[in-house]
Amino acid sequence: MSPEKLLRPEILALSAYRVPEAQGMVKLDAMENPYALPSALRRELAEALSRVDLNRYPEPTGRRVRELIARRMNLPSGMELLLGNGSDELIHMITLALARPGTTMMYPAPSFVMYGVNAALCGMNAVAVPLREDFSFDAEAFIARMKSSPPGLVFIAYPNNPTGALYAEEDVLRVILAAKGLVVLDEAYHAFAGKSFMQRLPEHPNLVVLRTLSKLGLAGIRLGYLAGRPQWIEQFNKVRQAYNVNALTQAAALFVLERLEVLEEQAARIRAERAALGAALERLPGVTVFPSHANFFLVRVREAERTDQALRRQGVLVKNLHPGLRNCLRITVGTPEENRILLTALHEAL
């Protein structure tokens, strides 16, 4: 019995998401917040988690977490939230819900790989509209493409991953106004961008805003949220697996979101480090640094493969995007110490 005879060809064509072994490495490959919670808070958190009734199913929609997110993230009145096991799960739910036969998903490219993966999983037709050579957003070209193959679903990462670019607000607005389908603005890096479309939700019936706590400092608990009109949330909620956000995640999120200023202060440190790291990277010979509004830099080097291998040998893990993005590495902003190690290693590795 061979799986190849039974599986859908689009699944056979995919590769599983692989993550390299990071034990003992300076881990700058996954846009994680490098700072732990202060130890007093960790002890308090352990207490809070010990009170969770693990024998009981979690509250199915995470009601208290939603209420707290609505308050702490200034959800506009009249809008609702849907929680996901990471925003990855929400991308999946949205795509599954909108995947009428023949529907097109459109996104600027390069962008977050999960958009295309979910289009394939759900049988949508993926149209990746190239960014300009310098990775800036060509709104003209995008809107022209929306006219020629009207998408039911548009994903825009704001700021974009893996480039770090924050597209001009008016360009994004033009896309939202021109789109006949749903526009998902993926604000995974909002804490580092200082810009958001959250407050504009009430103005645009075809807009939803997707966010995650992962890049903010809680990648381990897997919690994403989707904000939008009740009419959208109600439909996507039907696609949600029962109990998709587990009780420990809900308890941890409640605990940390009550103390959101701790993560916000860490994000401010990361933004300050970003400026210093960006300037230092630019001083390296043969390195092109693309401007970033996120917690990472896309850099172009002479030979990405060689540089990546040399960094690894020195214990530094970054993301090699080559050959998809020619000679490009994506480097997460770490602690000052980690960034120093990176820069020293990079001097050797170029």
Ligand X SMILES: *Cc1c(COP(=O)(O)O)cnc(C)c1O
C-beta closer to ligand X: residue 163 or 307: 163
CB of 224 to ligand X, least distance (A): 4
Residues 6+ apart with CB under 8 A from 212: 86, 87, 188, 223, 224, 225
Least CB distance from residue 161 to ligand X, whole Å? 4
Question: Which whole-number Å values give the CA distances from 237 to 80, 101, 188, in the listed order?
Answer: 11, 21, 20
Least separation, in Å, of the C-beta of 29 and ligand X? 12
Which residues contact ligand X (rule: CB under 6 A)?
A: 31, 86-88, 112, 157, 161, 186, 188, 212, 214, 219, 224
Contacts (Cβ under 8 Å, ≥6 apart) of 294: 31, 159, 160, 161, 164, 189, 192, 193, 215
49 vs 219, beta carbon nearer ligand X? 219
Considering beta carbons, is residue 165 or 345 the nearer one to ligand X?
165
- Written as one letter, the residue type at 130 is P
Among candidates 31, 15, 17, which has minimal Cα distance to 317? 31
Q: Which residue is nearest to ligand X (CB)?
A: 86
Q: How far is the CB of 340 from ligand X (least distance, A)?
A: 25
The terminus-to-terminus CA distance of the chain in angstroms comes to 49
CB of 101 to ligand X, least distance (A): 26
Residue among 145 and 330 whose Cβ is closer to ligand X: 330
Residue type, 181: G
Residue 87 or 196 having the CB closest to ligand X: 87
- Looking up tokens 């490098």 gives 34
**Which residue lies nearer to ligand X by CB, 81 or 188?**
188
Shortest gap between Cβ of 212 and ligand X (angstroms)? 3
Looking at beta carbons only, is 112 or 236 nearer to ligand X? 112
The full DSSP string for 154-168 is EEEESS-TTT-----
**Contact call for residues 84 and 90 (beta carbons, < 8 A):** yes
250 in Cβ contact with 260 (< 8 Å):
no
Q: Which residues pair with 83 in a beta bridge?
A: 225
Strand-pair partners of 223: none
Least separation in angstroms between CB 77 and ligand X: 25
